[in-house]
A and B are shown apart, each in its own frame.
Chain A
């Protein structure tokens, strides 16, 4: 039953395909009028063909020549039984054998894949099931009746589209007119373009600009959204200009003009004009420039705060355009740049006076609100932040001044309170020195010491303040701040071990420097000491010295650290940014790559001043002195220490007695100038090479002896 239904549906499908004039690629587009006996086989073939569409199952379909009920292990056939296989039947194992698992999986996959279902889906909905239905269906298709939404037939549509004669005539006349007008305009434009008068063009341009402005203003009043779009257009033009080289005197024309410019005034002017155009296009458009307020802002001493409320007000009406919000610093800068009224001629700047009317009022309100919020925040947190001099841009405004003074008073009060409380907290632990530092100082000395109304209590707080871009901290060196902080809380919990380590070393150094040395008792006290005897001054001086001392140690440690860092052999980083990675701005080579291409320098020998906290020793080589040292070991020595031992005794006369000096510097061979040194003979050394030479010596010797003897005899005789 189910199989016949499937066949039917397929047939229907065939018909439909024919109707819709699909390309005949399907193998099943054969003749339908054949016997029922053939039908079964065909159906099978069809199934095969369909399933063979899916490439994976092709192998499974083995050709069967004879009919059999036996189901083989590899291919499932439902030929003889004539009943359809149900997937669920197959899924349930006959026996619980693991060999079926693979088949099960495959089947599952087949089940999950609806291969041919999707393109057929729509047709299935509107398929005709009964013959009546089929008939109706055919009829409808013949008349090109829409099946899904039967509102109007194409025929009806065509009839509706048809016009009356008068209408057509009117329409044609209209079109003719438009065409004529267009040609007129074109002719006019061509004519105008041919006009060579510069003045005319200038006037024309100006007129156009004015017109555009007027229109723009009108548009602003009527339809602010459209105006904004206009603005965006301008912005876009600016962007385009920034991107292109159009007006930058770099084109062919400009270059030719540049050659002439030296002699031709007009060429020069033309070039300048082009540049001016470029500038004009590149000018940033001012949305709202509240001249009065910005003047006030500009007068402030570099205070990077201009109320953004004005901008906000303007934008509020429209959708929030992120490009319209500009950072405050940029605003002020622009305001400064835009001091001269000439630039107000710019189209966008013209709208300023209108927004001015509503601007200040709203701004004030918002400002006040902000103040209120901030005040409440401060009171809640107790973290007495520095009062930002916010309101100062409206210094003239009375109300804001009041607010400002109030704020200041509040902050001072808070500071005082915190100051006192801290005093009470620390009074027990603080050393005498600190008390002395604080008590006589009172309020007048405080700014001198700290430069800012409140003090950071913990490291975190300090860091926070640093992050805030501290306004007043700049005057104080960072080290000094740390110093205050460290001294203020001697029992501070320094969580970071590095910090701890450093502190230990510092304490060591401090011990070294601050060990109380017994004071000297001199018989004769210097006279000036007696003058300085009064205790107050002495104490003051002691305080001063203590202050100086702290900085000295810290500075020295810092210097030493720097020296150690500088003398350390540096790692060589061979990473090439962008090598083997995606390029672009602001990309960093990956950590892995950096690690791979970092050549670590070998750790040098330990520094000589490693254990000397109060010393920085220079580890650099004195190359000038090295040039005088021995750099080659003479022959028998194998180690430099051996050789060094033999040259350690000085031989100069400064360090030796005359005798030993002479002995030390005596040459190995002493000769007397002018005396002839005869060459050595074998006999002098006592060398006997062979018996023959021996013989000769024996033979010669008596001769020589006799000669000498003769001489002596002569001498004697002469005497």
Chain B
């Protein structure tokens, strides 16, 4: 669901000087109160410039003499003015306002914020209900226009890479990109040479500011990767299977050889969770505060990190689990199995929500994009497939890779990275919601060792790759969301802000049992219980109170209330009702005919013998 763009707390709101421009509704106490300050309305960001500097892909910066990579600003087709007052209004100065009325809003953007599903046809409703519905629709319209207007605050645009005419972007090496971008962005490309402690797994924090990595041979470290300031570095003296930040960068979960350990950002062990043993993969669901762990014993365990309780331990009944990913859209966990299936899990259900047969061999890697519409899988049959997760679960595209992808990752804007051996391939789609087209790789990069972990950094055009030779941070223009939500995940937040955010996030924690395939199911009525209750009510009462009682003609005076006339009147009403029914059925019939038509191409005389 689209959230409304907001700016961070670090941006102080501009003082609104224009006061009383819009008349406030009069309140009954206002005669005795003094004028209060008007509500702080978010103003345009002041520090826009700094933000701009963070992007390596700014169009102005990416210009290079060697190769022209021209980035074009995607033109949002502006809709012609929505409303315009018919006559030009004159101000005090006598100058004419060339842009009268409120600023126009592009329809597409408004559409993005509309949530009422109008595709479903409603049953005929009474006026009272209709007025309610109209009110709801009007409200939605108003809200979405407001939200669309605030899109103005999203000043940043995603970067991209474009070759010269006919040039393949995949041929552009990292060195070229680094050369082209500004110094700050160039600093984001680096290699950590850590050959000693084996292949590395890595994880970025939700704000994208911090990086944690753990080597197979026990090396665990966390650092602020932008400033390269090391937070902690320890050796746990045990094999490290996976590593993951919890809700903030202050807590770190490490899946070690036997048990799950939790460290703080100083490297101090806070907890050793022995109920989660032999963990192979970790996944953190930020809105539910759940740490999902997949174990060698075949159990998928959900640990609530806010209260420290195990919410659910589900037996997947599919042997060793070592492929896991989460769907950021609905917090469903995807598990890949050796029999070629991917199963979707929720802590509320003991059985998988869905099972999808994806490959003929075992599944090697699974990734789900941020909108929750596409899932990429790679299997032992060397195929890379992209599935549609919106109900059909059918493959949209498939490609055979020379040696199958062992690791997959989606970026915030839908770029797909696949690690095959010691090579990383990245594919890009047309837009944010479109699946990556597997025709041509967008970027390719060869690493020093075999890929062991892949993750795109949130809000930075960076792909982190953990491999047997250490860590590589690649520049991938256009990978990340350029605008961050300052209240939600602010890379520049201070400690205080983080603490405040933590409290708010805990207050807004979503219960674990609400995880299901369709997160909007909560806005639906529980039809089964509704019907059940209705039925019980009918049984209790013995009749249906909602049904209209049969028409009983009123007795009339002056001899007009003869039996014959009563019957006649009754008959009239009955006929009227019958006509209504017929009319309704006639209205429905053409739809049926339309449905029936395409069935048979041309009616034949012999059709009557067909059974």
Chain A residues packing against B (C-beta within 8 Å) = 509, 512-520, 522-529, 532, 545-546, 548-549, 551-553, 555-556, 559, 612, 614-618, 620-633, 636-650, 654-660, 662, 664, 670, 672, 675
Contact = CB atoms under 8 A, between A and B. Distances in A.
Contacts of A526: 402-403, 420-423
B446 interface: yes
B132 A636 contact: yes
Contacts of A639: 122-123, 125
Contacts of B530: 631-633, 640
A657 B529 CA distance: 35
Contacts of A627: 513
Given A631-B533, A633-B525, A552 B357 contact: yes
A648 B348 CA distance: 24
Given A545-B381, A612-B392, A621-B528, A659 B146 contact: yes
Contacts of A553: 357, 360
A372 B258 CA distance: 64
B184 interface: no
B535 interface: no
10 contacts: A520-B384, A529-B402, A625-B515, A625-B522, A628-B522, A629-B529, A643-B525, A644-B525, A645-B133, A657-B150
A509 B132 CA distance: 48
B128 A615 contact: no
A620 B351 contact: yes
What 8 A-B pairs are tightest by C-beta distance, nearest first? A526-B421, A549-B360, A624-B513, A517-B398, A629-B526, A640-B525, A519-B400, A614-B357
B125 A642 contact: yes
Contact of A520 (B339, B438, B526): B438
A656 B423 contact: no
B37 interface: no
Contacts of B420: 522, 526
A646 B132 contact: yes
A517 B340 contact: no
Interface in B125-166: 125-126, 128-129, 132-133, 136-137, 139-140, 142-143, 146-147, 149-150
Interface string B435-455: 000100100111000100000
Given A636-B132, A646-B136, A655-B1, A522 B514 contact: no
A524 B513 CA distance: 45
B425 to A, nearest CB: 6
Given A522-B420, A626-B528, 16 more contacts: A517-B385, A517-B398, A519-B399, A527-B421, A528-B450, A553-B360, A612-B392, A612-B393, A615-B356, A615-B357, A628-B522, A633-B525, A636-B129, A638-B123, A658-B39, A658-B42
A505 B442 CA distance: 37
Nearest to B2: A655
B45 interface: no
B528 A614 contact: no
A622 B361 CA distance: 31
A626 B348 CA distance: 11
B401 A514 contact: no
Given A556-B339, A631-B530, A649-B140, A638 B383 contact: no
Contact of B423 (A522, A616, A650): A522
B444 A513 contact: no
B41 A658 contact: yes
B193 interface: no
Contacts of B115: 648-650
A648 to B, nearest CB: 5
B355 interface: yes
Given A615-B357, A618-B349, A664-B143, A518 B392 contact: no
A526 B360 CA distance: 23
A525 B516 CA distance: 40
Contact of A548 (B357, B358, B361, B441): B361
A378 B583 CA distance: 79
B129 A525 contact: no
A639 B120 CA distance: 13
Contact of A631 (B123, B137, B392, B526): B526
B122 A642 contact: yes
B357 A638 contact: no
Given A621-B528, A622-B346, A636 B128 contact: yes
A643 B385 CA distance: 40
B31 to A, nearest CB: 11
A553 B360 CA distance: 7
Interface string B316-346: 0000000000000000000000011100001
B357 A513 contact: yes
B354 A631 contact: no
A588 B569 CA distance: 64
Contact of A632 (B128, B137, B533): B533
B403 A515 contact: no
B522 A548 contact: no
A672 to B, nearest CB: 5
B143 A615 contact: no
Contacts of B525: 629-631, 633, 640, 643-644
A602 to B, nearest CB: 14
A650 B520 CA distance: 10
B94 to A, nearest CB: 33
Contacts of A660: 142-143, 146-147
A142 to B, nearest CB: 95
Contacts of A513: 340, 357, 359-360
A618 B352 contact: yes
Contacts of B360: 513-514, 545-546, 548-549, 552-553
A527 B524 CA distance: 53
Contact of B116 (A623, A636, A649): A649
B78 to A, nearest CB: 21
B136 A612 contact: no
Contacts of B3: 654-655
Nearest to A526: B421
Given A512-B395, A641-B120, A645-B116, A626 B29 contact: no
A614 B394 CA distance: 8
B348 A614 contact: no
A641 to B, nearest CB: 5
Nearest to A641: B122
A625 B126 contact: no
A637 B362 CA distance: 51
B337 to A, nearest CB: 10
B4 interface: yes
B548 interface: no
Contacts of B123: 638-639, 641-642
A620 B27 contact: no
B381 A525 contact: no
A627 B511 CA distance: 12
B527 interface: yes
B349 A614 contact: no
Contacts of A631: 525-526, 529-530, 533
B420 to A, nearest CB: 5
B422 A523 contact: no
Interface in B346-403: 346, 348-349, 351-362, 380-381, 383-385, 392-395, 397-403
A556 B341 contact: yes
B171 interface: yes
Contact of B441 (A523, A559, A624, A659): A523
B270 interface: no
B538 interface: no
Given A527-B421, A625-B522, A645-B133, A517 B354 contact: no
Given A517-B399, A646-B136, A648-B116, A618 B39 contact: no
Contacts of B146: 656-657, 659-660
Given A517-B383, A649-B136, A630 B355 contact: no
A655 B401 contact: no
A553 to B, nearest CB: 7
B402 A525 contact: yes
Contacts of B385: 517
Nearest to A652: B508
